[in-house]
Chain A
Amino acid sequence: MSTTDYAKTRETTEGKVFTVTGGDWDTVVQGHDPLTDERIVVNMGPQHPSTHGVLRLILELEGETVTEARAVVGYLHTGIEKNIEYRNWTQGTTFVTRMDYLAPIFNETAYCLAVEKLLGVEVPDRATTIRVLMMELNRISSHLVWLATTGMELGAINMMLYGFREREYILDIFEAASGLRMNMAYVRPGGLAQDLPENAVTLIRDFLKLFPKKLVEYERLLSGNTIWQERTQDVAYLNIPGCLSLGITGPVLRSAGLAWDLRKTEPYCGYDTYDFEVATAESADVWGRYLVRMEEMRQSMRIVEQALDRLEPGPIMVEDKKIAWPAQLAVGADGLGNSLEHVAKIMGTSMESLIHHFKLVTEGFRVPAGQVYVPIEAPRGELGAHVVSDGGTRPYRVHYREPSFINLQAIPAMAEGGLLADVIAGGASLDPVMGGCDR
């Protein structure tokens, strides 16, 4: 065998490439200088199980210490904000619900509150109460996914199974109410797509009985666990000034000790009439964020219970027939659709209803010109909907202040100077959802 059978060393833009095709190992490694090559750049993601979707992290490492971290986003950009401008106001709900796919009800509610503020309409009490109820259930389901995925990433695989198992109960409730498990477009400008059915109330009551026991189970599994404590305590520290300058809100800010919760500080949807506490921690680390989220799930259950007790029969859409969706919707075998009674009425007995239905569904309603910014407390922090109308039947501009997008800016602050393994813990503690981040 001649020496030409062996591939040659070649230079590339990344550095020296050694093609090892045989020979003595010592002669191969002689060409590698451990001192100058100690600094390595690792590209984590965008396809990586512990980056919560398509987040890409570029990490510069010295040994196991991260010296520089940069987050790259945009892999899941779907142009939702552009698309909304070509649909009518009601159709907008269907788009925004797909932003942060773990918290669809929050996206819808922020959008609808903004549209209602532009319209100057008040939604009926029952609709507001059901919105609160659904939002808090959604907060629990979102925090459960956080707990499940973070557990998995930090070595507690069973937490993954438990978290997603209990989340199914909540998704069943959403399915009973709206016909869909996710991306429900349940909250609509002016009220709700349809009323909460009796069996959904039963499901919620069952869930409220079951879930406290499960929470205790999770805490027994994690809180006293040495591995969990070691992986979370004093990891990814970010104090209040750090949070505020980087714009971080939600559980991360509260874990630093500031009780800033828009449900208390700038109440919307009548949150000021509910009895609940704002969970905070002092440690400003991943452990603190874990404690805050666990407590928030408990507080959310309190709110759900109060909301259930307040539910009184009544309308779930504004009275104004020029805004309210004309169709009576019903959950059928294949999901949500027009109720057959309504179709029979407009097609068979009332021409005026048919015209009205046709006008509102094809043309939509007009929203007076102006702009509003409506912030609400989503599971990840301040979710703000900046909605601009030019007086037409379509949104002129909808921009979401997405907490996932803003919070991911904290990755360098949390990761640099720490260990590589703690990048995972720190990133997970921000609870980023790339669908919301990239929109």
Chain B
Amino acid sequence: MTTPGNTTPGDVPVSQPPAGASSTAPAEYPPASPAGRGMFGVHDTGDTSGFGGLVRRRTVVTSTPKPYGEEFDEVTDALEEAYPGFADAIEAVVVDRGELTLHIKPERVLEVATIMRDNPALRFELCSSVSGVDYLGAARRLHVVYHLTSLTFRRRVRLEAAVPAEDPRLPSVTSIYPTADWQERETYDMFGVVFEGHPNLTRILMPDDWEGHPQRKDYPLGGVPVEYKGAEIPPPDERRTYQ
């Protein structure tokens, strides 16, 4: 997993209210399920297996050593050549499962994306996708993920920028990729990431007056129990998890 910064099991925020949500949030906060501890999600009585005492550590993002592979080397070399701030802006280069990920400092996203689109050796004309991932427990937990496609060279690259939940700001790429408009709005809606310079950063999927950002990991699912043939099955977010 790509989480920068190690996580000690103690600092997982389990009993905070959902981010941005007040008491009028649509659902109650679920009982604490300490990510990073235990094996089956059971932490009180009921787990006699002993697995509940296990401590799981998250993996830390580590750069893949060069060479990355022919095609990926072409991309990184071209970017390094065209972008003087490469060493400063790129935090890590990860090649995993045949996909190239560039971890970028959030404030440099627009610069890097501009070069990625305009440089003749890179030519990532299409911004396929912008979305977010919440790595709860990391120092900069909110990751914004961009998938760029080069139609000329038929290759793809993933840009990833991590911002802290307390100050989730990074520049918008709508000025160079107009398609990012709605996708950045969705990321704002779901994760609360603020894209500076976006022409109209409002909610898009949730209602305008919604509180909180639903895709954050500390936002409750708000499941309801299911009754089936007389038995009650707990809501999905309260069921035993196998981590």
Contacts and interface: CB of A to CB of B under 8 A. Distances in A.
A363 to B, nearest CB: 4
Contact of B181 (A389, A399, A409): A409
A373 B147 contact: yes
A109 interface: no
Contact of B129 (A81, A265, A386, A439): A386
A79 interface: yes
Query: Which of under 10, 10 to 19, 20 to 34, or 35 or more describes the interface residues of B?
Result: 35 or more
A67 B98 CA distance: 46
Contacts, number: 125
Contact of B151 (A118, A260, A363, A396): A260
Nearest to A249: B126
Contacts of A390: 1, 58
A401 B179 contact: no
Interface string B140-181: 000001010101001010100000000000000000011101
A246 B179 contact: yes
B243 A382 contact: no
A370 B98 CA distance: 12
A212 interface: no
Contacts of B178: 245-247, 409
Contacts of A260: 151
Contacts of B154: 265-266
Please report whether the interface of chain A is mostly helix, strand, loop or mixed according to DSSP: mixed
A83 B221 contact: yes
Nearest to A247: B179
Interface in B180-224: 181-183, 186, 190, 203-207, 214-215, 221, 223
Nearest to A369: B1
Contacts of B145: 371, 386, 399
B206 A74 contact: yes
A57 to B, nearest CB: 15
B128 interface: yes
Interface string B82-100: 0000000000000011110
A86 B41 CA distance: 12
Contacts of B1: 369-370, 388-391, 396
Contacts of A401: 128-129, 131, 147
Contacts of B134: 397
A237 interface: no
Most chain B beta-carbon contacts within 10 A, residue among A82, A393, A409, A439: A82
A287 interface: no
Contact of A373 (B132, B158, B221): B158
Contacts of A399: 129, 131-133, 145
Given A120-B97, A247-B128, A394-B241, A384 B147 contact: yes
8 contacts: A86-B221, A118-B97, A120-B97, A371-B2, A371-B99, A386-B147, A399-B145, A401-B147
Interface of B: 1-2, 58-59, 96-99, 101, 125-129, 131-134, 145, 147, 149, 151, 154, 156, 158, 177-179, 181-183, 186, 190, 203-207, 214-215, 221, 223, 236-237, 239, 241-243
